[in-house]
Amino acid sequence: MMKRKALMTLGIVLLLFCFWYFHLRVYRENKLIDEGNVIVKKIENFKNKNNRLPQSLEEIGMKEKEGANVLDYNIDRDGINYRISFIMSIDHSKIYYSDSKKWEDYYRDMRTASDTLE
């Protein structure tokens, strides 16, 4: 009987831990996507006003961050499109692509046919 109670308690604790972990993960992902959407709006406003993409986030008034909740900004080779990304885990990232205006789960292969010949 004692063993059964201990296993039940352990199961409940494990279940609560899993719920807590996944809840925080979803909360973090949603929070970073919201921050990314703010950056997207600032980039688009900058682009409309200056007819070019900002060279860095600092150019749109955003400070570069360090740590786990970093949003990375990259301009594509074409100079027209850009990406905002953050890492969720070792094998999972979220990336906003300006050409599709969508958040995606994986990096695209951004090379063109001419890039592969180099």
**Single-letter code of the amino acid located at 106:** Y
Phi, psi of 116 (to 5 degrees): -75, -20
At residue 118, the pLDDT reads: 44
Which segment of 20-29, 47-56, 57-66, 105-114 scores lowest on mean pLDDT? 105-114
Residue 113 pLDDT greater than 70, yes or no: no
Residue 104 pLDDT greater than 60, yes or no: yes
What are the CA-CA distances from residue 103 to residues 30, 56, 58, 92, 95 (Å)? 11, 20, 22, 13, 5
R_g over Cα of the chain: 20
Sheet holding 102-104, edge to edge: 72-75, 82-89, 92-97, 102-104
- Give the dihedral sign, CA 64/108/22/18: negative
Question: What does the DSSP 8-state code read for residue 69?
Answer: T
CA gap 29, 61 in Å, rounded: 23
Residue 68 pLDDT greater than 80, yes or no: no
- pTM passes above 0.75: no
pLDDT band at 77 (very low <50, low <70, confident <90, very high): confident
pLDDT band at 21 (very low <50, low <70, confident <90, very high): confident
Minimal CA–CA distance to 84: which of 40, 45, 47? 40
Q: Per-residue pLDDT tens for 83-102?
A: 999 888 777 889 999 999 99
